Homo-oligomer: A and B are copies of this chain.
Amino acid sequence: MQLDHIKILGFDADDTLWNNETFFREAEVDFFQLLNEYAPRAQVEKKLFEIEMQNLEQYGYGIKSFVLSMTETALFITDQKLPGRITHEILEIGKAMLAKPVKLLHEVEETLGRLTETHELVVATKGDLLDQQRKLRKSGLAKYFHHIEIMPDKQITDYQNMLARLKIPAQNFFMTGNSIKSDILPVLEMGGYAMHVPYHTTWAHEDVKDDIQSPNFYRGQTLADLLKIIEG
């Protein structure tokens, strides 16, 4: 079989193993609602995205960064006349997000259960360390994974560092995830393999045009499609 040389299977976490982006989108709707007497939704949405991008290098990904960027956006939209009541509501949005249960996506547990019999599985995710570890614990999936890598970002160098730690070359690595930009392109560029499983919602920051021609690239509808590819 063609993919016999694959030793390690990498998995993105948010929106690949479990729901995440929908929580951010729902939280944004609550946030726009809080500011609807100050500005129309489209204006707040545009400003929030702009501020998130400005803050990305300093704040990184995750819920706490999102709360800080919402607060900054609200200050801008209200011309610094942000009432304490709204600031309080923004903090509450963040705390509610942190308390959300983890809901696994379709066929995730069965697929990981089968693949773990033949391969080493690793989680390769970006985001806030504490958030990701909490979600992994709540998910009940930790037992399937040999290694958890929480990266500051998912650039080629981040994957290279991980593979060096795992002591395997990129040709023996197969990554699965919902983000073309973060999960697929850097891995293909290193000479690894990748499968894209789209999620119904993609954050604008992760959204890129997809016209991939690589022979190492696969498309799936659910995580279970990985079984057909790996098991042949």
Q: Name A residues whose Cβ lies closer than 8 Å to a Cβ of B.
A: 58-60, 64-65, 67-68, 71-72, 75, 78, 80-85, 87-88, 91, 94-95, 98-99, 128-130, 133, 147, 150, 152, 165
Query: In whole angstroms, how far apart are the Cα atoms of A116 and B51 in the complex?
Result: 42
Q: Which residues of the other chain, B, contact A64 by a CB distance below 8 angstroms?
A: 59, 64-65, 68
Partner of A78, one of B65, B75, B84, B94: B84
Query: In whole angstroms, how far apart are the Cα atoms of A91 and B150 in the complex?
Result: 26
Q: Are B59 and A87 in contact (CB under 8 A)?
A: no
Q: Are A80 and B88 in contact (CB under 8 A)?
A: yes
Taking CB as reference atom, which chain B residue is nearest A69? Answer: B91
Partner of A152, one of B84, B87, B94, B129: B129
Q: Are B84 and A129 in contact (CB under 8 A)?
A: no
Q: Are B94 and A60 in contact (CB under 8 A)?
A: no
Taking CB as reference atom, which chain B residue is nearest A61? Answer: B130
Minimum CB–CB distance for A214 against chain B, Å: 30
Q: Which residues of the other chain, B, contact A83 by a CB distance below 8 angstroms?
A: 84
Q: Are B78 and A91 in contact (CB under 8 A)?
A: no
Minimum CB–CB distance for A153 against chain B, Å: 9
Can you give 30 contacting A-B residue pairs, CB < 8 Å? A58-B99, A59-B64, A59-B98, A59-B130, A60-B128, A60-B129, A64-B65, A67-B68, A68-B91, A68-B94, A71-B71, A71-B87, A71-B91, A75-B84, A75-B88, A78-B84, A80-B84, A80-B88, A81-B84, A82-B84, A82-B87, A83-B84, A84-B87, A87-B87, A128-B128, A128-B129, A129-B129, A130-B152, A133-B152, A147-B165
